[in-house]
Amino acid sequence: MKILIVDDFSTMRRIIKNLLRDLGFTNTDEADDGNTALPMLKSGKYDFLVTDWNMPGMSGLDLLKEIRTDDSLKTLPVLMVTAEAKRDQIVAAAEAGVNGYVVKPFTAAVLKEKIEKIFERIQ
């Protein structure tokens, strides 16, 4: 299971990386916005994407939209972990094809639950 973590703050990437490791996912890479993430996703054979929304360059929502229009990536499961908390935004993310949505601040238990739920649905 290879996972890409996208967040502009290295602190948040590190927290998510640690939580994923505790859940048994040790094969993770990091990117700091959509523009760096997209080429990595296209060439890197990732199984799962955890992304922030609000980032300089390409936002998480735009990254999600790009992924859903790319033939090789459109089935990639995407979990959004973000501080964006407006109902309209969550609806927009759902419409863009997000697989899970976690609002910051979050707990390890919530992250675990959402990831497990996404994998249950895929299998």
Partner 1 sequence: MSKKNLDNNQLDPEMTEKLKAQATELVEQLNGGDYVKAMGLINELGDVRDQSLYREVGQLTRSLHEAIRNFQIDAQNEEQQEALSSMADASDRLEYVVQMTGNAANRTMDLVEDAMPRANAMREQSRALRDDWQRLRRREMEPSEFRELYCRIDNFFVTMAADADAMYSNLSEILLAQDFQDLTGQVIHKVTTLVKEVEEHLLNLVVMASNVDQMTGTVHNVEESKNTDSPVKAQGPQMHAADRADVVSGQNDVDDLLSSLGF
List of residues contacting partner 1 (CB under 8 A): 10-11, 14-15, 18, 53-55, 59-61, 83-92, 94, 101-104, 106, 110
Rank residues 49 and 114 by Cβ distance to partner 1 and give the closer one: 114
Q: How far apart are CA 81 and CA 61, in angstroms?
A: 11
Least separation in angstroms between CB 60 and partner 1: 8
Least separation in angstroms between CB 45 and partner 1: 27
* Strands of the 3-6 sheet, one edge to the other: 28-31, 3-6, 48-51, 78-82, 100-103
Task: Please name which of 39, 28, 88 lies closest in space to residue 61, comparing C-alpha atoms.
Answer: 88
Rank residues 71 and 88 by Cβ distance to partner 1 and give the closer one: 88
Least separation in angstroms between CB 38 and partner 1: 17
Based on the number of CB atoms within 10 Å of its own CB, is 90 exposed (0-12), middle (13-18) or buried (19 or more)? middle
Q: How far apart are CA 11 and CA 24, in angstroms?
A: 20
Give SS3 for 91: helix
Rank residues 54 and 72 by Cβ distance to partner 1 and give the closer one: 54
Rank residues 14 and 74 by Cβ distance to partner 1 and give the closer one: 14
Least separation in angstroms between CB 111 and partner 1: 10
